Chain A
Amino acid sequence: MSPIKISWKSLWSKPLSSALNIMLIAFGTGILTILLLASTQISQKLDNNSKDIDLVVGAKGSPLQLILSSIYYIDFPTGNIPLKDAQELSHSPFVKRAVPLAQGDNYEGIRIVGTDSNFVRVYKLTTSSGKFWSADFEVTVGATVAATKKLKIGDTFFGAHGLTGSTDVHKTHAYKVAGILTPQGNVTDNLILTNITSVWRMHDDHEKEEATEQHQRSAHHHEKTEGQQQEETGDHEKETRPDQGGADSGREITALLIQYRSPMSVVMFPRMVNQSTALQAASPAMESTRLFSLIGVGVDTLQWFAILIMLIAAISVFVNLYNSLKERNYDLAIMRTLGASRGQLFQIIIFEGILLTFAGTVIGIALGHLVLQFIGAYQESSQARLSGLIFLGTEIYLFVAGLAIGIFAAIIPAVQAYRSNISKILSKN
């Protein structure tokens, strides 16, 4: 009968209060685990997606929105920018590489992005099968897209207008899958890539088609509600609107991703863009930090909440051990008469505290992972999906904290057991 076994048996003899203590600790640890995992994963995703992009140039508006739409593909784009301006900026001596982006269509909620081979270089993409897009209407799909939408090479599909929803399908041209990307662990897993002209042509023809349709249905046009009209206009402002003339000079794109040539550019280039053009420049690093600091307020609050729960758990373990010590004074005195040393009694009490918090921490961490996996499974945005299957080295600190709480809660009862006067206790009964 080792002290640890005596502690174990003693806890089992009071299953309800032991369970309550374990639950409290598990709850606190669980919340801390979720916070730790989620905030690490979010910041990792933010960094992962923007690590090679120094600046995003787009239409004026919210810089955060520009970053969200062009780096993380979450929000709507701020508007379009003239291709001519974008090209001028691309040739600036400050710029090492510029990636044009043309958004506006989706396939079952997945964004179709028109871009060029610079995109491949910036994100260091490789294909797992097939090749990169080259001809118009050829697409290369991300690994997750291929898996979830069950797309193979040679498959065709129709894109729909807008960034979500599939009511307005472009039936004139079908996209054809030319290749599938190897999993990258960033947003490109969830994108469909094609060339810019495909996006333009899709809308050229779409407009022509719409024009004829409108012409044919002109009599019914006024039946459309005002809301619908507004929605359409709103959408059209954001989409890449081709010039009727067809010349590149009048074309528009959604945004331009920039890699700097030298550190000097950091100071000069954004100012130049913001002051001398009608465009805005936003830094992914800066906006990510800003975004994270916004989320951070919530994370902090929850963190304090979890720490409070842990504190309550610690007090509960303390009260539990302290009260049971009163009942067990006699037990412990008997153990001393059987030859147990003061140190052994101390150990028995400390082990009880540690066992409780250890069980609580293990269950809490497991629970945290499970819940996060559950949350991830029900998340709508696949770009920011959280996973409960990632284990972090920092979780070891939760263990350490759990054990520390156990020792902390048990130390006073344990010292009391150590110092108890057995003759006094035994003669009282």
Chain B
Amino acid sequence: MISIKSVSHSYSNALRISFKDWEINNGDQWLLLGESGSGKTTLLHILTGILKPEEGEVNMDGTSVYSLSSRALDQFRGRNIGIIFQRPHLIKSLTIKENLLLAQSFAKLPENPERINEVLHSLGIIEKKDAYPNELSQGQLQRVSIARAVINKPALLIADEPTSSLDDKNAIAVLNLLLEQSGLNQATLIVATHDKRVKDAFTNTYEL
């Protein structure tokens, strides 16, 4: 279970944003709705442990995330949280397979080529295993970034505007993949978006 309690944050000399409390049960699929500038990204960063809020607490399966040391938090994030960004950002100097190996080794998990094959296969991009990121299309890259997010079987899968730069067809495809992968890996899913196309797929909504 993931919960945020009385969390608020402000950037230097800007408005303070307070977030209402939120409890997420394991395996839930949530939509995080909000217009640009409403603090969506801020909340996601707080949830993923890369931005310590000025006030409040974030708990994940009994762990108070921000009481961990910087190093332990990095490792916790690597193992338990998978993040998909608006634009798929892969390390250009590494092949697809190496990008996924990177995710395994940074989380201090053993390198597991079989798991990589399994994930790439389920996303239908197994034949791109040894290609470099610049040889792939935008849609394929987004699939790789999903693969990278789920490779370590995270408890929480977070996607930040995963469909906004895609056309209708690809947007639906990516959304389905996210739902499918979170189910496959038994991960809690949070999708932050202002994309109306995505709305209908979710029952749980957290609005900013």
Contacts and interface: CB of A to CB of B under 8 A. Distances in A.
Contacts of A331: 89, 91-92
Interface residues of B, number: 35
B157 interface: no
B102 A6 contact: yes
A9 B93 contact: yes
B50 A337 contact: yes
Contacts of B108: 339
A339 B105 CA distance: 9
Interface string B70-97: 1100110111010101110111111000
Contact of A426 (B45, B81, B111): B45
Interface string A411-429: 0000000000011001101
B51 interface: yes
A342 B77 CA distance: 13
Contact of B70 (A338, A342, A426, A427): A342
A422 B85 CA distance: 13
Given A339-B78, A423-B51, A426-B50, A13 B102 contact: no
B28 interface: no
Taking chain A's interface residues, is the majority helix, strand, or loop, or is none over half, making it mixed? helix
Contacts of B101: 1
A335 B104 CA distance: 11
A10 B93 contact: yes
Interface string B98-126: 10011111111001000000000000000
B29 interface: no
A157 interface: no
A321 to B, nearest CB: 14
A13 B75 contact: no
A339 B74 contact: yes
B148 interface: yes
Contacts of A13: 92-93
Contacts, number: 80
Contact of A340 (B48, B74, B83, B86): B74
Given A1-B98, A426-B50, A341 B93 contact: no
B202 to A, nearest CB: 23
Contacts of B89: 330-331, 334, 429
A337 B93 contact: no
B195 to A, nearest CB: 18
Contacts of A343: 71
Contacts of B79: 339
Contacts of B93: 6, 9-10, 12-13
Nearest to A11: B93
B41 interface: yes
A341 B105 CA distance: 12
B105 A2 contact: yes
Nearest to A327: B92
A344 interface: yes
B107 A336 contact: no
Kindly name the residue among A1, A13, A336, A422 whose own CB sees the greatest number of chain B CB atoms within 10 A: A1
B78 A338 contact: yes
Nearest to B52: A423
B75 A338 contact: no
A65 to B, nearest CB: 63
A377 B74 CA distance: 59
B129 to A, nearest CB: 15
23 contacts: A1-B94, A1-B104, A1-B105, A6-B91, A9-B94, A10-B93, A12-B93, A337-B50, A337-B83, A338-B148, A339-B78, A339-B103, A339-B107, A340-B106, A341-B74, A343-B71, A423-B45, A423-B51, A426-B41, A426-B45, A426-B50, A427-B41, A429-B86
Interface of B: 41-42, 45, 48, 50-51, 70-71, 74-75, 77-79, 81, 83, 85-87, 89-94, 98, 101-108, 111, 148
Interface of A: 1-2, 6, 9-10, 12-13, 330-331, 334-344, 422-423, 426-427, 429
Given A6-B93, A9-B98, A338-B103, 10 more contacts: A1-B102, A1-B105, A336-B50, A337-B81, A341-B74, A423-B50, A426-B45, A426-B50, A429-B87, A429-B89
